[in-house]
Amino acid sequence: MRTFILLSTLTHQGMETLAVTPERLFEVNREIEALGGRVVDQWAVLGPYDFLSVIEAPDEAAVAEITMELSSRGSAHFETLTAVEIEDLVEPPETSG
């Protein structure tokens, strides 16, 4: 599984839904799992985004499908970042021998 960071911003509709049913946040996490991902961590944040979620998914196509499905509902906009482990950047490449 690959790691991705989802930065989400609620739309007006999303804010209204969350005000009435705050448990909707947990329902979305279950939906992410049903779509093949897994929420590892999640925070509400201050600033230009409302939530930061760390998820795992098989690949970029899977996370694109997840965010397209969630975005199609009109409750949030997403920015997706691929996370790379620092160790993967500094390990020497394997040599064939």
- pLDDT for 97 equals 58
* CATH of range 2-85; options 3.30.70.920, 3.90.1300.10, 3.40.50.300, 3.40.30.10: 3.30.70.920
pTM over 0.95: no
Domain ranges of the chain: 2-85
Q: Both tokens of residue 60?
A: 């970029």
The letter for the amino acid at 1 is: M
pLDDT digits (tens, 9 = 90+) for 36-76: 999 999 999 999 999 999 999 999 999 999 999 999 999 99
To the nearest 5 percent, what fractions of the chain are helix, strand and coil?
40, 30, 30
Give the 3-state DSSP-derived string for 54-72, with helices as H, strands as E and coil as C: EEEECCHHHHHHHHHHHHC
